[in-house]
Amino acid sequence: MQIRSMFAANYRSLKSIRMDMAGVNLFIGENGVGKSNLYRALQLVQAAVRGRLAHEIAREGGMASALWSGKRRSGDPVRIKLEVELLDEERAVSFHYRVEAGLRPAKAAAGFIFEPQVKEEELKVDAGRPVTVMKRAGPGIFVRNAAGRMEEYPEQALTSETAIALLGDAGHYPEIGAFRRVIDGWRFFHGFRTDRDSPLRTPCLAVTAPLLDEDGSNLAAVFATLFHTRQDTVDLDRAVADAFGGARLAVPEPEEFAEFALVFPDFPQRRFSPRELSDGQMRFLALAGALLSYRTPRFIALNEPETSLHPDMLPALAAMIASASADSQIWIVTHSELLAAEIQKRCGTRPKRVIRNDGATWIEGMRLTGMMDEDED
């Protein structure tokens, strides 16, 4: 189930932007144009599905920091608006979710001052015609029952809660549950710590790991799962060899902890532990774990993955992205023209250039509908 389109309004530098999405989505642009805000909007959709929308916005400084700070039309409600449409091509079914969050009314007693308050939510399912599965306005929630009728849900939502999370936890609504499972499986790799105390550099508990955690803390277990459970490391072996001049990963069968090391051709009897590897080497290995894990996520976002990598590693990184795109929808934000060119060569994806248009984040050559001029070619 892939993302067909997204929409965000009044969030940071995103005044109002709707964008169609492809299998591989590649964004390039200068610092400060809002590239990260685009995928951060999708991350907030995931937070809403997980019931953590208020928490995530609070981490950014609350609504006062998260709201669009440019000019607004007089009378328009001051709200962050997020929408996402998912398409299940096999079943010819699409899901459309919308959530709007605003400030606490001046005279209201409930809620904290800068805490986001969920104003509206809606989930529609379209299998030939759109059907509203859930609708929320204020604290009241209406949901479609097994007989196909909309009924009021017996429990009201707190102002900081999302109905999609509340109903999903109830376990009675299969469409909502299916939608939530897909969104919950998205992975956003904003960056990896590579300092001495980084979780990448320490052994982890020996627990089967089909996916890499977003902080990379189970990297050793991801490699061990590939080596000893799947017993198929062809793509991983090729990526490591291409990036590190013929090196190979050594992954012993885990006991209490999972561990790994690099073996270089010049020192075939010497195993270099993660604590001995450079920041760039560790970052590349973390990206390998993210893109080549046993079970790849349906959606993977990478923010400036070229950071700390030697230019010679970028073709190998692009090859991993191309490999992962067979099963996952990929979103890459980069400053590197070289990486963008390598990805375009392997995936056929033209980079979208992110710019500022009257102070707002925009995509060069994109229409208001979300289509690119090149889509007509």
Task: Please check whether residue 273 lies inside any domain of the structure.
Answer: yes
Query: Cβ contacts of residue 177 below 8 Å, gap of 6+?
Result: 168, 171
Q: What are phi and psi of 292, to 5 degrees?
A: -120, 25
The amino acid at residue 358 is D
Sign of the C-alpha dihedral computed for residues 282, 287, 36 and 215 taken in this order: negative
Asked which of 165, 186, 207 is the last residue of a domain, the reply is: 186
Sorting pLDDT into bands at 50, 70 and 90, what band is 296?
Answer: confident
Task: Please check whether residue 326 lies inside any domain of the structure.
Answer: no
Other Cβ atoms within 10 Å of 14 Cβ, number: 22
Report pLDDT digits (tens) over 303-334. Answer: 999 999 999 999 999 999 999 999 999 999 99
From the list 238, 202, 234, 235, the residue with the least C-alpha distance to 221 is 202
Asked which of 169, 186, 203 is the last residue of a domain, the reply is: 186
Same domain, 126 and 216: no
Residue 107 has pLDDT above 90, yes or no: no
Report pLDDT digits (tens) over 199-247. Answer: 999 999 999 999 999 999 999 999 999 999 999 999 999 999 999 999 9
Same domain, 76 and 102: yes
- The C-alpha atoms of residue 331 and residue 302 are separated, in whole angstroms, by 6
Record the tokens describing residue 108, joined without a space.
């209201």
Task: Please check whether residue 205 lies inside any domain of the structure.
Answer: yes
- The C-alpha atoms of residue 24 and residue 318 are separated, in whole angstroms, by 11
* Concatenated DSSP letters of 211-245: S--TT-TTHHHHHHIIIIII---HHHHHHHHHHTT
Task: Please check whether residue 280 lies inside any domain of the structure.
Answer: yes
Task: Please check whether residue 54 lies inside any domain of the structure.
Answer: yes
Only one residue has tokens 């700390």, namely: 308
Model pLDDT, residue 109: 57
Task: Please check whether residue 368 lies inside any domain of the structure.
Answer: no
Residue 274 per-residue DSSP state: G
Collapsing DSSP to helix, strand or coil, 161 comes out as coil
The amino acid at residue 348 is G
Record the tokens describing residue 28, joined without a space.
């390039």
Asked which of 136, 164, 186 is the last residue of a domain, the reply is: 186
Same domain, 145 and 9: yes
Same domain, 12 and 147: yes
Task: Please check whether residue 172 lies inside any domain of the structure.
Answer: yes
Model pLDDT, residue 70: 82
- The C-alpha atoms of residue 310 and residue 275 are separated, in whole angstroms, by 19
The predicted model gives 154-170 an average pLDDT of: 88
- The C-alpha atoms of residue 210 and residue 225 are separated, in whole angstroms, by 7
Pairing mode, if any, of strands 2-11 and 14-20? antiparallel
b or e along 134-155 (b: 16 or more beta carbons within 10 Å of the residue's beta carbon)? Answer: bbbeeeebbbbeeeeeeeebee
Same domain, 179 and 198: no
Same domain, 8 and 54: yes
Model pLDDT, residue 123: 97
Residue 375 has pLDDT above 60, yes or no: no
- The C-alpha atoms of residue 310 and residue 343 are separated, in whole angstroms, by 16
Model pLDDT, residue 377: 47
Residue 106 has pLDDT above 80, yes or no: no
Range(s) of the domain holding residue 169: 2-19+36-186
Query: Cβ contacts of residue 135 below 8 Å, gap of 6+?
Result: 121, 122, 123, 141, 142, 143, 150
Task: Please check whether residue 322 lies inside any domain of the structure.
Answer: no
Collapsing DSSP to helix, strand or coil, 50 comes out as helix
Same domain, 99 and 217: no
From the list 329, 321, 376, the residue with the least C-alpha distance to 84 is 329
Same domain, 72 and 100: yes
- The C-alpha atoms of residue 291 and residue 304 are separated, in whole angstroms, by 15
Instruction: Name the domain count of the chain.
Output: 2
Question: Longest Cα pair distance anywhere in the chain, in angstroms?
Answer: 72
Q: Radius of gyration over alpha carbons of the chain, in Å?
A: 22
Record the tokens describing residue 53, joined without a space.
């929308």
Same domain, 203 and 267: yes
Model pLDDT, residue 250: 97
Same domain, 48 and 122: yes
As a whole number, the mean pLDDT across the chain is: 92
- The C-alpha atoms of residue 54 and residue 58 are separated, in whole angstroms, by 6
Let me know: does 70 contact 359? Beta carbons within 8 Å. Answer: yes
Q: Measuring CA to CA, how many Å separate 252 from each of 202, 206, 268?
A: 15, 11, 16
